[in-house]
Structure formats: structure tokens, C-alpha cells
Amino acid sequence: MSYFDVASSAPLHPVARQALLAALDEGWADPARLHREGRRARLLLDAARETAADAVGCRPDELVFTSSGTRAVHLGVRGARAGRRRIGGRVVVSAVEHSSVLYAAGEDAAEVPVDRTGRVDPEVFAAALTGDTALACLQSANHEVGTEQPVAEAAELCRAAGVPLLVDAAQSLAWGPVDGDWSLLTASAHKWGGPAGVGLLAVRKGVRFAPGEPADERESGRSPGFENIPAIVAAAASLRAVRAEAAGGAARLRALVDLIRTRVPELVPDVEVVGDPVRRLPHLVTFSCLYVDGEALLHALDREGFSVSSGSSCTSGTLTPSHVLRAMGVLSEGNVRISLGAGASGDEVERFLAVLPGVVASVRERLGAPTAPAAGPAARTAGLVLDTLGKRCPIPVIELAKVIGDVPVGETVTVLSDDEAARLDIPAWCGMRGQGYAGEEKRERGSAYVVRRLI
Amino acid sequence: MSYFDVASSAPLHPVARQALLAALDEGWADPARLHREGRRARLLLDAARETAADAVGCRPDELVFTSSGTRAVHLGVRGARAGRRRIGGRVVVSAVEHSSVLYAAGEDAAEVPVDRTGRVDPEVFAAALTGDTALACLQSANHEVGTEQPVAEAAELCRAAGVPLLVDAAQSLAWGPVDGDWSLLTASAHKWGGPAGVGLLAVRKGVRFAPGEPADERESGRSPGFENIPAIVAAAASLRAVRAEAAGGAARLRALVDLIRTRVPELVPDVEVVGDPVRRLPHLVTFSCLYVDGEALLHALDREGFSVSSGSSCTSGTLTPSHVLRAMGVLSEGNVRISLGAGASGDEVERFLAVLPGVVASVRERLGAPTAPAAGPAARTAGLVLDTLGKRCPIPVIELAKVIGDVPVGETVTVLSDDEAARLDIPAWCGMRGQGYAGEEKRERGSAYVVRRLI
């Protein structure tokens, strides 16, 4: 069994387990109480705060523990925005933030686009910081494709504009502190091998912050609810432990990821490896496979003993492809995210590379995907219309690939589709196949996507 | 060592510990993922929900897990209120609810008073349910004095008025399900020996509910953040375990509490045992000692090996006495709450009863408290004014007790005090001493409390 999905949740680090067990006996009491059990709990909580603050790179009194990374983001965004409500309510985010950031920022947030690698241009980010901007949010590294963001540059530009910057460091904190002069930082312990139930919210001194929840004396009034001290102790201890292992682990995993990045496109036809190849998390790589159903691919890999995740629409409850892939403008069908844990071995990666081609081929065969670029016989149809209404990703793209050979070079084919993934995947297919994407036209049901045959 | 403060937080139940350890290995993955680790986590979560729902007495799809009891209350109050915002924003609460309920309900909530035992009159509660009432909140039993509330009657009257009733069952759920036709229910696992980090929020089908936080797909959209599955599994398993032990444990602890209720006033002069003597939690008893500093008493008991808590002003960060004692109109100085765990023994209680009189006497002696009712010599002063400004509980009451013998029967003494506890404790002292309380007059600094000597 190979678990390649630590970016969703990592198994408990041995140090976390040990610390948790010890703290279950010592840290169950209410740290607000005056009796010895309460004082003991308070001591554990204070020590954990010191340890975690040291790893974050902030003062202990700037750090509070929340019950999850999502809560840290919600509380951080709300508190920072409320603290500057006189300036205005605008929140600037990158288009590839974690959903918790996007939902906390709200529908009227200003989204800064990213390039095809998923990276924000700091100058474009800075240009979005208008006078009524209460808060800017930029992740340290992307959770789906691993691309690192220019956080230090963004932080400097935010300082110059007088806007606090919140950095969601959920995916990167295990690897090191976040560079630059950020104002708020959030993270999540179960991403680094800590237990579930612990998030971090750091708010630098001097940042205006107005807690938005009913009053509660715990955690400086910034995170209501009884502190989960055993889990907090385990989170802090494991953060220190993974940091001690980070440099060696990063080099090793970076090499394994490089192997995957190189070998997958060699082994599997019609694959796009996405994300920045260099400025990226060491342990994470994402690729998409044309003509493949992401859910079927996940299940097939699961049967072969590999646990991975996917940003394909068919693996989401809403049947929409990942907003990250959409913002990057890359293929979403047959999407696979691999995130390696500290224990991942070269043998496991080799076995994955050995298994993947057959798995992809069998999913493609089951879907009737074209196996070779369509030969171009005499065109049967000019102005061909392909009705794929009601069909889900990757069927519209497969149907398109099957008929493109029938379209005279220079002519168009129109694909009717009501699948959300088509909007992303038809242009992506055109890019990969050297065909021309001529645009989308809304229809009563779904859209018409026009593709011009170029080769 | 005797830990008599389970109402603050109980040590981990052995079943919780065992379940937590098992689930750390099985339940760390993301239950929203399709791979085997994710599916395994989802199965554990579903099973825990079935178990907990069975104990609560609701359907599994009516129950979500939150990260604490406080969060369950905040989410429940906000969601129920938002769901009925067209009806109006009024929230009705008892005056003795947990602070999390009072803060969530807000400053403009309608507080229903309680009697001297801390109990709400259901008819008075019902009379507060006006046409613009969105939600009513009534605890199942009080966390400071143990008094059970007439929840079933209140629920029936709420149904008749068309107002949903939220029951905070944090202190009682270990002992049994909450009777009656409530609409929402909240609880907290670390109160019954489950781990920290788990609260319960049940919302009956048909109750209008609008989550008030940024969107999140977890827990039916009602409790954002990654689920803490190991803790949830431990919470559910331990709730089932404590329920199985509840009937026997309740009878045993009820007898020990009865012993304390009877013996403490016999052993210690000038003590008031508060809360309903019969309709109460089995394991909890509270009393207050005249002329005693609560913090000094807690520390002295701690040195003797007893961990208890207190609602006295000197033990709170805000230097105000417990709002529960205030609402009941009982003495707050020298307040001690004892809440016995399942393992509490008769020997421990006997030792407590043996130690308490000496501890109270030594605190009183240190404070210079009057040891006998003041003899009434010829009055030196009519219209005596006693300036205790700047002095904290219990000094103003001690000073009053020292001079009352100097006041001619029928005449008054005026106590100047800027201590919040005086407002509660001077009338309480008058009640205990058979003297007349003639009222309070606001002054530029603090208040003037007028006491008439009757005997």
C-alpha cells in the first residue's frame, strides 16, 4: 500500500503520537482553573505555544490555536477584515487559494489571476490593492499543484500599500517558516503529521484585529471553545520534529517528484504535468490525462494500492473541476495529485510508474478513447455539430477527438456540452493537440464550444 | 489527590482512551476522499455518528460534530436564529445559562429570571415567547449549582408558541437523554470523559436552520473544518460507556452529594448550600462560606489535595461574581463547587469533610473575620458610614459584620463599596444574619449599600 495523499491529510507522526499520549494524562483539565490539574494543563499549553511560535517565526502572544486550518482561515479573514472595516470591505485573493480562503473572503472578493503554472505575478497582485482594501490573502504554496507563490515580494508590496497580508501556509509550514513580512498566517496540523483538531492563527502585533464571534476568554478571545491541549501539544511537538527532518526529506522527495514529472509523460501518452517545475513544494506533483475519467482512474489506482487525489470534476460533489486547474487554464480530466509522505520510497514511486500506463490505458479503452491521432480522410462534414449534452467529462473531449479527423483543415466543429469540465478541457485539448479553440457560445442548455481544425 | 471538578473537565474515560488510540491509526485520513484510507475514515465517522445520535435520541442525519461545546452552542444559536430571521431576532434565555449561550444570544437577549434554587418557572419562560422570538434556550441542568431545569415542560410550551428550543445539555448528557420535544441540543465530550475537541449539535428535522459561517462541505455544511475523527470516535464510544454506568453511578454519587449537603453546614458555621436539593445533577454541589476569600479557599484546598472550582469574584478574570449566583440572589463569597467523577469514593468525601472546617477557619482568621455574632453594646454611632472603597470581596462583608453590633437596633449602617461582589453578598449576608437590607444607591465611585439592624 502506498499512500500518496499527504496533502489531504498525513498519518500521525510518531512524535505526535507520543506527545498526544503523554498529554492525554497531563493535559485534560481546564487551563483556566486554579487547581493543580488546571495549572498543569496551562503549562503544557504555554509550552506548546512557545514551540509552535518558534516554528512559525512569531511571538507566542501573536499565536492562537484554533480547531482546524479552516477555522484559522475563517477567524483570521473575518478578524482582519473587521479590524479595518473603516477602510473598506474589499479582500484581495489569488484565484488559486484554498476554498476556505475563497469562501471566507466572499463572493465579492477581488481574484488575482495566475499564470499557467499557477503562480501569481506580485506586481499584478499589488495593483489590486486599492484604497478600500481591508485584507490581501496569498497562500505560501498551492495545495493542488505545489506551485510556490512569491509571498515575500507580495508582503513587501502589501506593506507599501498599507494592507495586511494573510498567508495560508497549510501546505508549506512543515518545510520551513514563511519568508517575508506577512501580517497574518494560518496553518493546519494534520497536514504535517500532527493530529486533526488543531489549526494555527498568527496575528502580528500591530495588525488591527476584531474577533467576529461571540465573546470567549480562551485563546486571547480569538478562538472560542475549550482548548484541545493534548492535540495542541502533539501538533507543536510534531511540527518541531518534521522541521528537524525537513532539509533531508525535501531533497529526497524533490528527486522522486522530479522522476515522476519526467517519466509520466514518457510512459503515458497525452498527459499534461502541471504546476511550476522548480518553484514548488518538494513532495507534490499533479498531472492530467486526456480521455480519462478521474474517478475511474482513482479507483483503478486504489485497487493497485495507490491512494491519490484528483481535481477532476467527477471526483467532486459539485461536478465542477477544481478552481485551481480552471484558474491555470490547464486540462482537468484524468487529473491526479500525488503528494508523498516522508516515508515514501523510490521503490513505491517505481512501482507507481510501472502501474500507471496500464491503468490509464485500461480506463481509456473502457471509455472508447481514440488510441492514435485521427487520420484525416476526405471530410464528410463541414460545420459539424457534435451533441454531447448530458455526457460528463471526459466523454465530450473523447467525442471531439474522434471526429476531428472528419473536419476539413481550416473548418470548425461545434461541441454542445452542459458539462462544466468542457469549458476547461476543450480549450486544453486544443492546446495539447495543436488545434484552434475559437470560443464558447452560451446556449439555452449548456454551451457551444467551437474548435477549428488546424493540423 | 481528589479531583472534584469534573464539571469543568473530566479526565479521559478508559474507553475513550482505547477508542482514541485505535482511531489514531484508522481515522486520520480525509473522509471526503475516495481512496481506502478516506473510506475507512468515513466509516468510522458514520459509525460514531450513529452511536452518538442513539445516545442523544435523534437521527444520525440530525447530528453534527463540532470542535467544542462552545462551538456547538455558537453554531446552533446563530443557525437557528438566522433560519427564522423573518420572524424576528429575539432570543429568550434563562438567566443562568452557560456563558457561551449568553454571549451567542447577545446583549439584547431576553433573560428569564430563576428562583433562589436556580430554577426557571416554565410559565414565566413561556410568557417571554413573544411573536418576534426566533429561539429560546434552556439548559438541561445548571453547570454551577446542579439544578435541573424543567426542559420537557418548556419544550412543550415552546412548541405551542412555535418557537424552537435549544437545550444546552453539556452537564447532563452523561446521565441520560434530554426529555421532551426539544428542537436543538448541544453538548461537549470532555464533560463526560470524552476527549477535548468534540462538541455535539443536534438539529431536529423541520427546524429552520441557516448556517452562518463561510461555506464548507463538512458536517452537512453546519460545522466547518476538517473532522477530528479519532476524537469523535472516542467521544461516541465513551458516551455509550458512561451511559451504561450512569444508573449505578448516579445513585452512589447522589448519596455522597447528600452527605456533603447535610454535613457542610453542620461542620462549618455561616455556610449557605445552594441549588435545588432534589431536582439536581447527581454529582454536583455548591456552597458559599461567609467571610471567606474564594481564591484563598481554593488554594488552601488545593494544598490539602482537593481540586474544586468557584464562582467567587476573586477567582474570575473580570472580578465579578458568577452570573448564576447573582441570578439566584445567593451569597458568592467563599464559593466552592464540587463535582464528583465516577471514581470519587466515600473516603475522599469524608476526608474533604474532615479538612474543610479547618481550612475555612484558617482563611477567616487570616482575614480577621468575626468569630461570633457581634454583641450589641451601647451604640456609638447612629447613621454609621463604613468606607470599604478599594477593598475586595469578602472584606466589605467582614467589615460590616464587625460594626453591626455598634448600630442601634432599628438604625442603619451604610457600606460604601466599589466591589462588584458586594451587590450580591451584602443582601445575602443580611438574609443569613436576619438583618434588613434597605437598598443600594449609586455613588460617583461604587455604591452605598444600606443595612438596617433588626436584631
Q: What is the DSSP string of B234-256?
A: HHHHHHHHHHHHHHHHHHHHHHH
Q: Do residues A349 and A256 make contact, with C-beta atoms less than 8 angstroms apart? A: yes
Pick the closest to residue A2 from A239, A196, A187, A256 (CA basis): A256
Cell of A235: 501538533
The share of chain A scoring above pLDDT 70, in percent, equals 98
CB-nearest to A34 from B28, B214, B295 is B295
Which of the four pLDDT bands, split at 50, 70 and 90, describes residue A398?
very high
Contact A9 B226 (CB under 8 A): yes
Q: Which residues 282-311 of B have a C-beta within 8 angstroms of A?
A: 295, 298-299, 302, 307-309
Residue B14 half-sphere exposure toward CB, CA atoms < 13 A: 3
Could you check whether the bond before residue A394 is cis, i.e. omega within 30 degrees of 0? yes
Question: How many C-beta atoms surround the C-beta of residue A401 within 10 A?
Answer: 20
**Best CA proximity match to B146, nearest among B182, B110, B118:** B118
CA distances for B254 relative to A105, B168, B173, B266, B311, angstroms:
52, 22, 16, 19, 22
Pairing of strands B335-339, B2-3: unpaired
Q: What is the pLDDT of residues B20-72, one digit of tens each?
A: 999 999 999 999 999 999 999 999 999 999 999 999 999 999 999 999 999 99
DSSP state of B146: -
> Could you give the strand order of the β-sheet that contains A335-339, starting from the edge strand earlier in sequence?
A271-274, A284-289, A335-339
Task: For B300, name the nearest residue in chain A, comparing CA atoms only.
Answer: A35
pLDDT band at A81 (very low <50, low <70, confident <90, very high): very high
Residue B378 clears pLDDT 70, i.e. is over it = no
Q: Quick one: average pLDDT of B436-441? A: 96
B171 touches chain A (CB under 8 A): no
**pLDDT given for residue B374 in this prediction:** 53
DSSP characters over B320-385: ---HHHHHHT---TTEEEEE--TT--HHHHHHHHHHHHHHHHHHHHHHT--SSPPP--S-S-SSEE
The cell numbers describing B79, all together, are: 443557525
Active site residues of A: 314
Contact A319, A392 (CB under 8 A): yes
pLDDT score recorded for residue A370:
87
Q: Are A332 and A425 in contact (CB under 8 A)?
A: yes
So what's the pLDDT on residue B408?
A: 93
Residues of A in contact with B67 (CB under 8 A): 67-68, 71, 197, 225, 228
Task: Answer positive or negative: Cα dihedral of A423, A425, A431, A435.
Answer: negative
Contacts of A10 in chain B (CB under 8 A): 28
* Residue in B17, B36, B315 nearest the CB of A24: B17
Confidence bin at B318 (pLDDT 50/70/90): confident
CB A386 within 8 A of CB A413: yes
| CB-CB under 8 Å, B69 with A225 | yes
What pairing do the DSSP bridges indicate for beta strands B110-112 and B90-94? parallel
User: Please, what are the domains in chain B?
Assistant: 11-242 (3.40.640.10), 246-367 (3.90.1150.10), 384-452 (3.30.110.40)
Taking residues A268-276, what's their average pLDDT? 96
How far CA B145 is from CA of A62, B17, B116, B258, in Å, comes to 37, 29, 11, 14
Q: How many Cβ contacts (< 8 angstroms) between chains A and B?
A: 189
Provide, rounded to the nearest whole percent, the portion of chain B with pLDDT above 70. 98
DSSP strand pairing (A271-274 vs A284-289): antiparallel
**pLDDT tens string A155-179:** 999 999 999 999 999 999 999 999 9
Reduce the secondary structure of A96-148 to three states and give it as a string: CCCHHHHHHHCCCCEEECCCCCCCCCHHHHHHCCCCCEEEEECCCECCCCCEE
Round the average pLDDT of chain A to a whole number and report it.
Answer: 95
Mean pLDDT of B224-233: 96
* Predicted pLDDT at B373: 56
DSSP notation for A43-105: HHHHHHHHHHHHHHTS-GGGEEEESSHHHHHHHHHHHHHHHTTTT--EEEEETTS-HHHHHHH
Say yes or no to pLDDT of B375 above 60.
no
Residue B447 in this model has a pLDDT that exceeds 90: yes
CA nearest A218 in B: which residue? B70
**Coil vs helix vs strand at B390:** coil
Mutant choice from B68, B238, B312 vs A, greatest count of A C-beta within 10 A: B68
* A22 and chain B in contact, CB less than 8 A: no
Q: How confident is the model at residue B383 (pLDDT cuts 50, 70, 90)?
A: confident
- Which sign, positive or negative, has the C-alpha torsion B159, B162, B163, B166? positive
Q: Is pLDDT above 90 for A372?
A: no
* B70/B99 Cα distance (integer angstroms): 9
Say whether residue A199 is in contact with chain B using an 8 A CB cutoff: yes
With residue A357 as reference, give the H or E element that holds it: helix A346-367
Nearest CA in chain A to B38: A307
Average pLDDT over residues A116-136: 97
* pLDDT-derived band at B228, boundaries 50, 70, 90: very high
Instruction: Look at A365-379, B34-48, B103-117, B412-426 and tell me which has the smallest mean pLDDT.
Output: A365-379
**Catalytic pick among B58, B158, B289, B314:** B314
CA–CA separation, B430 and B440 (whole Å): 13
CA-wise closest residue to B307 among B3, B1, B6: B3
Q: Are B353 and B360 in contact (CB under 8 A)?
A: no
Detail the DSSP E strand segments found in A125-214. Answer: 133-137, 165-168, 184-188, 199-203
CA distance B63 to A296: 32
How much is the ipTM here?
A: 0.94
> Torsion over CA of B30, B34, B36 and B37, rounded to 10 degrees?
-10
Partner A contacted by B227 (CB < 8 A):
yes
Among A163, A161, A98, which residue's Cα sits nearest to residue A135?
Answer: A163
Q: What is the pLDDT of residue B213?
A: 86
Q: Which residue of B24, B28, B216 is in closest CB contact with A103?
A: B216
With beta carbons less than 8 A apart as the criterion, state whether B141 and B161 touch.
no
